[in-house]
Amino acid sequence: MNEARDWIKNASSITVLTGAGISAESGIPTFRGAAGLWKQFRPQDLATPHAFARDPILVWEWYDWRRGLIKAAQPNAAHLALAELERRVRRFALVTQNVDGLHQREGSRNVLEVHGSIWKLRCTACGRSWEDQTVPLSLPPCCECGGMARPGVVWFGESLPTEIWSSAERATLHCDVFLVIGTSAAVYPAAGLIPLAKSSGARIIEVNTETTEISSNVDCTLIGPAGELLPQLIGSNA
Ligand code: OAD
């Protein structure tokens, strides 16, 4: 922990990759693991373009349920620590696989949402995209043009938003320290940022409640809940 804290203190450029684990202490379920969403639900029924084409109401009901959980949740100490870190470091980027918006709610600014946002809607007819925080939504939500809207998230089999992804790659290539928090690092291309950071010479620090596929390839793995470890690592509770 002490060494990792020094790397962060001395870094002028930090990039962070977060996953569902950072929001777990806010009461939002993760995807994998014993209580994960993908244990209860099948991704092919709910999180693919094919699933939406087959049964848009079912897909929307699931997203509407998640929007309700997220709206009722509060950001936790880990989100707060990252917002503080951003204010201290010269160059900072927060790449998140999360669609919950909790980083922004806690004040993070340079957030790259590589899997989209659950608060965004996109028209399947005209392509218009807008934000709507209404919970619950009246289903199915429609665009001004009368077309049906879909959730503004990235589903399995879809490409990541091009510009956001390019910014994430750039931030990864040019950082001194790359922090990986609360992700199983099982989903690509997001997980590919970790070897990219390593190949460009960044120190990699992982924070997770358990070891993952990447643990043997990082400079330091800190085991424990992000809400406890991040304030210590960043020195925000000193
Ligand atoms: P996962 O559910 O795969 O992994 C969550 C990780 O967080 C696991 O490694 C847990 O050990 C860890 N964890 C749980 N609680 C924690 C805590 N309090 N502090 C720190 N770590 C904790 O979630 P992601 O890696 O984010 O994509 O999943 C990646 C993508 O897979 C998601 O964005 C989603 C999903 O399918 C799409 O929907 C496209």
Q: What pLDDT, in 10s, does the model give residues 143-188?
A: 999 999 999 999 999 999 999 999 999 999 999 999 999 999 999 9
CA 190 to ligand 1: nearest atom: 29
Q: What pLDDT is recorded for position 33?
A: 84
Q: In the prediction, which pLDDT does 237 show?
A: 60
Prior bond of 136 cis (ω within 30°): yes
Q: Is 174 a known active-site residue? A: no
Name which residue sits closest to atom 36 of ligand 1, judged by CA: 31
pLDDT of residue 34: 84
Strand segments (E) across the chain: 13-18, 91-96, 111-113, 116-123, 129-131, 149-153, 177-181, 203-208, 220-223
CA of 115 to the centre of ligand 1 (A): 13
**Count of residues in the chain:** 238
Q: How far is the CA of 197 from the centre of ligand 1 (A)?
A: 19
Q: Is the CB of 229 under 6 A from ligand 1?
A: no
Average model confidence (pLDDT) for the chain? 96
How many angstroms separate the CA atoms of 19 and 103, rounded? 11
- For the chain, which domains are there? 1-28+76-115+160-238 (3.40.50.1220), 33-72+119-153 (3.30.1600.10)
Query: In this predicted model, what pLDDT tens digit does every residue of 117-137 receive, in sequence order?
Result: 999 999 999 999 999 999 999
Query: What is the mean pLDDT of the segment spanning 111-116?
Result: 98
51 CA distance to ligand 1 centroid (A)?
A: 22
Strand partners, 93: 15
Nearest alpha carbon, ligand 1 atom 31: 187
Q: Which of 50, 103, 115, 174 is catalytic?
A: 115
How close is the Cα of 129 to the center of ligand 1, in Å?
26
The stretch 60-76 carries a mean pLDDT of: 97
- The pLDDT score that the predictor gives to residue 238 is 45
Residue 37 CB coordination number (10 Å) = 18
How far apart (Å, rounded) are the C-alpha atoms in residues 173 and 121?
Answer: 31
What gap in Å lies between CA 14 and CA 179, rounded to an integer? Answer: 8
CA distances from 209 to 20, 29, 37, 108, 227 (A): 12, 14, 17, 23, 11
